[in-house]
Amino acid sequence: MRELLTYLKGLTNAAERRADSNWVYVLSLGNWIEEGSSISYIETVEKKRRYYHPVGPQGGWPVEPPTYIAFRYDGKLQSIHYIEKCETTTNVGSRIPEIADGEHDPILLYYLGPAFRPDHEVLTGNKILRATRFGACSIRC
């Protein structure tokens, strides 16, 4: 019975996947550290393989977690990650010890897969990639 339930759950999850599940959210990261923290946003991605943002849609943040997320800093695309897991929390510091501990508005916390790193500067048309959302096939790597 458990095997059947596991199989049916897999079918349900596959059926619920959105047609645009290959969207990549490209975000620009800063190297600054929030007050009370000991790790920058870039280090959070690079060392902890985590990223977080307010629960959308205010500020243009996604309401549903994307499938992929990419990070841009130092003037170029640095990495693309599959989002392995996502959770909502009101205390990021309870999940990442280097982040200031304390309650705040709900945050989406992403657990990132291994980085895919382009071996050349990634362009979109005639422009360098900027913080935005793209279909996975729109990014020439």
Full-model pTM: 0.73
Q: What are phi and psi of 61, to 5 degrees?
A: -75, 150
Report the Cα 110 to chain-centroid distance in Å: 6
pLDDT for residue 141 = 39
* Number of separate domains in the chain: 1
CATH code of the domain containing 110: 2.30.130
Residue 12 lies in a domain: no
SS3 72: strand
Domain range for 52: 20-138
pLDDT for residue 22 = 76
Give the separation between CA 141 and CA 123, rounded to whole angstroms: 8
Residue 2 lies in a domain: no
SS3 16: helix
pLDDT for residue 15 = 39
Q: Which residues of the chain have pLDDT under 50?
A: 10-17, 125, 129, 131, 133, 135-141
